Amino acid sequence: MQKRKLGTGGLEVSALGFGCMGMSFGFGPAKDKQEMVALLHAAVDRGVTFFDTAEVYGPFVNEELVGEGLAPFRGKVVIATKFGWEANPADGGKWNALNSRPEHIKEVAEASLQRLKVDAIDLFYQHRVDLNVPIEEVAGAVKELIQAGKVKHFGMSEASAQTIRRAHAVQPVAALQSEYSLFWREPEETVMPTLEELGIGFVPFSPLGKGFLTGKIDAETKFDSTDFRAIVPRFTPENRKANQALVDVISTFAKQKKATPAQIALAWILAKKSWIVPIPGTTKLSRLEENLGATQVELSAEDVRALEDASSKVKLEGARYPAFHASLVGR
């Protein structure tokens, strides 16, 4: 497995990371814990060194799973987690309130260290920008945690270029995590030029379009009530039917390259920039191996251009987020 660098502070990770959220949250019922621990071990055995979680996934249980599953590999893997949410007691304890106040960030860090069973958090992302707290204060709080040896690198998620610049001036940002795939290319215009200029890495989540680009989801697919996609406008049956044209384009390229649609979608991201590290998630060993196969698919500049030309002709239908979630991105 090739390595890639995120930021300028020496953070080196496998070219393909692993998004752990779906093991216990977001895409249907939580999976069997021991099976997921075995899958984490399988990922490490195959060269993956970069794992992504967050306190809000579950909540808490995903961090606990990752902490237990990766305990045998301390010092050999990089674990990223996130702060920035607070359960709202007025709403039955639902996690729909943002909180990036410095004292809260420090409390979250202590709790995450315990759940992850680590002495320092490798990469600590602000999960969503909190407009009630100046980003300079957020970056300053993480800087203090870095100085105290409790955090190694600072990250942001779904932030705007302007906010990234302000944070970076206080504490260098190692990576931005945001959605990016052939299904959602907006970051190319909104943030990627800034990331390149400042030397910040990019960690795309949902690089397979929340599974849509694998070709395994169609208009007839039924989502569990606990599956986030059940409330995503882009995933209504009508929109899935319309957006199938994009999957068809990717599938055509996959046949030419003797690869799967998922591998082409990931290979495209890997070919875009050397400082991009996608984090596809899965709960199945076969899918993990398929995803890792993308690192062996070579796409030339001409291949990338042809894929983009063909896919950009497809008019994609539906917003990528419901209204509340959409209001929290690009701040």
pLDDT of residue 137: 98
Q: Please list, residue by residue across 238-271, b when 16 or more beta carbons sit within 10 angstroms of its beta carbon and e when fewer do.
A: ebbebbbebbebbbebbeeeebbbbbbbbbbbbb
Alpha-carbon distances, residue 256 vs 115, 183, 249 (angstroms): 45, 20, 11
| Whether 251 contacts 216, CB under 8 Å | no
pLDDT of residue 157: 98
Task: Return d(Cα 303, Cα 85) in angstroms, integer.
Answer: 41
Burial of residue 119 (number of CB atoms within 10 Å: 0-12, 13-18, 19+): exposed
Known active-site residue 57: yes
Alpha-carbon distances, residue 277 vs 6, 219, 267 (angstroms): 8, 30, 11
* Unique residue bearing structure tokens 């993956």: 48
| Whether 73 contacts 44, CB under 8 Å | yes
Boundaries of every domain in the chain: 3-326
Task: Return d(Cα 243, Cα 232) in angstroms, integer.
Answer: 14
Query: In sequence order, what are the residues at sequence separation of 6 or more whose Cβ sits closer than 8 angstroms to the Cβ of residue 212?
Result: 183, 234, 235, 240, 243, 247
The phi and psi torsions of 72 (rounded to 5 degrees) equal -70, -10
Task: Return d(Cα 198, Cα 174) in angstroms, integer.
Answer: 10
Query: Can you name the residues that pair with 153 across neighbouring β-strands?
Result: 123
Task: Return d(Cα 57, Cα 11) in angstroms, integer.
Answer: 24
Nearest one of 173, 157, 164, 156 to 194, comparing CA atoms:
164
Structure-derived torsion over alpha carbons of residues 210, 277, 256, 248, reported in degrees to the nearest 10: 20
User: Mean pLDDT, 10 residues at a time, over the chain (331 residues)?
Assistant: 97 98 95 98 98 96 98 98 90 87 98 98 98 98 98 98 98 98 98 98 98 96 95 97 98 97 98 98 98 97 98 97 95 97
CATH 1.10.3330.10 fits 3-326, yes or no: no
pLDDT of residue 226: 93
Range list of H helices, the chain = 33-45, 61-69, 102-116, 135-147, 161-170, 187-190, 192-198, 237-257, 261-272, 285-292, 301-311, 323-326
3-state DSSP assignment of residue 253: helix
Give the dihedral sign, CA 15/13/199/133: positive
Task: Return d(Cα 168, Cα 155) in angstroms, integer.
Answer: 10
| Whether 138 contacts 166, CB under 8 Å | no
Q: What pTM does this model have?
A: 0.97
> Which entry of 57, 125, 180, 321 is annotated as an active-site residue?
57
pLDDT of residue 87: 82
Query: In sequence order, what are the residues at sequence separation of 6 or more whose Cβ sits closer than 8 angstroms to the Cβ of residue 172?
Result: 7, 8, 9, 154
Query: In sequence order, what are the residues at sequence separation of 6 or more whose Cβ sits closer than 8 angstroms to the Cβ of residue 315?
Result: 242
Alpha-carbon distances, residue 259 vs 17, 245, 286 (angstroms): 20, 18, 14
